[in-house]
Amino acid sequence: MKQFIYALILGVIILTSCTQKEQNPFFSDYNTPFETPAFDKIKSAHFMPAFKEGIKQNQEEIKAIVNNPAPADFNNTIVALERSGKLLTKVSNVFFALHGADTNVELQAIAKEVTPLLSRNNDDIKLNEGLFKRIKTVYDVMAASGLTAEQQRLVNKYYQRFVRGGANLGGKDKETFRAINQQLSMLGLQFGENVLKENNRFEMLLENKEELSGLPKNVIAAAADAAKAHGYEGKWLFTLHKPSLIPFLQYSQKRALREKMFTGYITRGDHDDELDNKKILTKMAALRVKRAHLLGYKTHADFVLENIMAKNPANVYKLLDQVWTPALNKAKEEAKDLQKMIYASGEKFELKPWDWWYYAEKLKKQKYDLDEEMLRPYFKLEHVRDGAFEVAHRLYGITFSERHDIPVYEKDVKTFEVKNADGSHVGILYVDYFPRAGKQGGAWMEALRKQSRLDGKAVTPIIYNVGNFSKPTGDKPSLLSLDEVLTLFHEFGHGLHGLLSNGTYPSLTGTSVARDFVELPSQFMENFATAPKVLKQYAKHYKTGDPMPDDLIDKIQRSGHFNQGFATTEFMAAAYLDMDWHTIADTVLRDAHTFENASMKKIGLIPEIVVRYRSPYFSHIFSGDYSSGYYSYLWAEVLDADAFEDFKEHGLFDSKTAQVFRDNILAKGDSEDPIVLYKRFRGQEPQIEPLLKRRGLK
């Protein structure tokens, strides 16, 4: 029935689609400021015709490269590949931006239709023997061909991409490889769709004021607004979206309700119904192993890690093990402290996962006279956003000016033009910060257009940041939690990586870097969010405009190590779980519960803490591109903690240090090996001690 409905929707889309190319915004220049997407003109009906035409053009371009009678060289093969697929990239970037941030049944139907087409086109290219032969010809002679280091990097990237894309496989294996890729693409799409639906279908509707005890006024107001929006006038609605979930767990005095919320969150995709993800993920894990074996690798993790900084699973586990023991010991101490607080309050129950947030917040208040609600009035979203902009201005001289003439896909989206100190245009930044039913959970950054200088033509970047932050309620603006502040700075760091890119070839620019290097710019920016000098600039009371008082800033600094055992272990448990799923060396279909429990038992995760992402909703690795890569946040944190030491030594806004960081980290993309770039900036190998010190684990 579901497939029939999707087919019916697609039929309607096709019937109502434009028949003339000139009517479709994707088939011509957008005629908007800076050629930003014409969101005011783009309709669902435009996507499939544009996708199909884009695939057709891409195939014709590949055919022309293969049939070129001239001997293969860098320009007629590698650069020609860089030029190819412009229409397909154009429509894909817009479609998947909307599919993640503002989806609907029409876009979901299109995704189901187009995903296998895109997978097939990708395989058609990478498995094209004639094309690979030309790439290999260029690859074999590149060292003696006079190519620059950046050009050689590009040649090597294409060669590796094709080899890893099955180019060396035999005929039967190629067909198996294609089938696996198509299955994985559809399974990943279904996994993500299920998680989104699970997020949206959970509702905890409260009708009795007494059930709201302990909750701050702004949380109650937000719940009332949510209830009203869903037709529950006079009641209070709580959901699994983080701005609703986390404050409830932190402040609700009703333990049974905390348990209900927490259980709803950790059992997503795990109800043995039409949205259950367990069989999907176990099949994906097995298919990934089968694909790795076809390519000559023992495991999926070996395949993924080969060409990035970690190189192999052993190095990842080594890093995790270095941090895990001190983090787990710290978490055990924290659990004891929380249990003491429970007993001291006259309660006799044992600490459970749904109690941790609540008693941790009470303990922080007791130890540091600090809680989230004391901070929120100083974290008006617009002030935080502008604070991040000001940090970038002081570091790199760039400015951000809001534009009101650029079309957006949703009314809450804002756009900003970014300029260099000399007034020259850098790029465009979209920010989309509030939850909605059609938006995936979490926060992310992507590019609607990447920076490049192909053929001498300067193409400036168009970047977007997406979040799910606390919405305005009643007469109050959006007031963020400290965690949301850090997330905003984090995604803005990714945005700067895309905006300040300065390379030639699209495949190497912006965030097209090793997965365990890409988080460095984002996590580096988090350091500035709570730096006292920066807090003084942007943390101003939303009513009075007064800056955050020194004693409150001091409390933030003194509480910096608080609850870090919990924060580190719940994250690292997910990193271990990811690696365990992807170091499987056989294609046996595991029971998801049994496997996950064994993984957590092996590392000794205490029962009071639940892994940050349980397998059935671990979207990073089953519907995103972080499989065998969730550890990269920790890997990058080693880099960012070490990098920030340089700024602490030379001055928070030291222009020379900032310029070296911009030139070697933000601007270079994947034009050189990331460790070479890092050492050129820092002058040494990254050290793990700053990370352990910052988290209070040393």
pLDDT tens per residue, range 626-647: 999 999 999 999 999 999 999 9
Strand residues in 550-620 grouped as ranges (E): none
How far from each other are the two terminal CA atoms of the chain, in whole angstroms? 57
pLDDT value of residue 11: 53
Quickly state the pLDDT bin for 22 (edges 50, 70, 90).
low
37-58: average pLDDT: 98
Mean pLDDT of 14-34: 77
**Domains recognised in the chain with CATH numbers:** 2-126+128-164 (1.10.1370.40), 202-266 (no CATH), 377-558+632-694 (1.10.1370.40)
- Model pLDDT for residues 307-354, shown as the tens digit of each residue: 999 999 999 999 999 999 999 999 999 999 999 999 999 999 999 999
Average pLDDT over residues 164-183: 96
Mean pLDDT of 235-259: 97
Instruction: Give me the count of residues in the chain.
Output: 698
Does residue 13 surpass a pLDDT of 80? no
pLDDT computed for residue 140 by the predictor: 97
Helices (H), 267-307: 278-294, 300-305
What confidence tens digit (pLDDT) does each residue in 669-698 have?
999 999 999 999 999 999 999 999 999 998
Whether 511 has a pLDDT exceeding 60, the answer reads yes
Tens digits of per-residue pLDDT, 60-85? 999 999 999 999 999 999 999 999 99
- What pLDDT score was predicted for residue 21? 56
Q: What is the pLDDT of residue 1?
A: 46
* pLDDT at 17 (0 to 100): 46
Split at pLDDT 50, 70, 90, the class of 524 is very high
Mean pLDDT of 10-36: 74
| 18 vs 623 pLDDT, higher one | 623
Report DSSP letters for 220-237, one per residue.
Answer: HHHHHHHHHHTT-TTSEE
Nearest of 450, 505, 453, 527 to residue 694 by alpha carbon: 527
The pLDDT score that the predictor gives to residue 474 is 83
Mean pLDDT of 443-454: 98
The pLDDT of 475-484, averaged and rounded, is: 95
Q: Residue 5: helix, strand or coil by DSSP?
A: helix
Q: Percent of the chain having pLDDT more than 90?
A: 95
Q: Is residue 477 within 8 Å of residue 542, measured between CB atoms?
A: yes
- Exposed, middle or buried, 208 (CB in 10 Å: 0-12/13-18/19+)? exposed
492-498 mean pLDDT: 98
- Give me the catalytic one of 484, 491, 608, 637: 491
491 annotated active-site: yes
Beta pairing, strands 414-419 & 236-238: unpaired
Whole-angstrom distance, CA of residue 574 vs CA of residue 572 = 5
What is the pLDDT, as a whole number, of residue 4? 46
- Burial 554-590, CB ≥16 within 10 A → b, else e: ebbeebeebbbbbbbbbbbbbbbbbbbbbbbeeeeeb
Q: Measuring CA to CA, how many Å separate 522 from each of 440, 477, 491, 633, 637? A: 20, 26, 6, 10, 10
pLDDT at 245 over 70: yes
pTM: 0.93
The rounded distance, in Å, linking the Cα atoms of 392 and 529 is 12
**Residue percentage of the chain with pLDDT more than 70:** 97
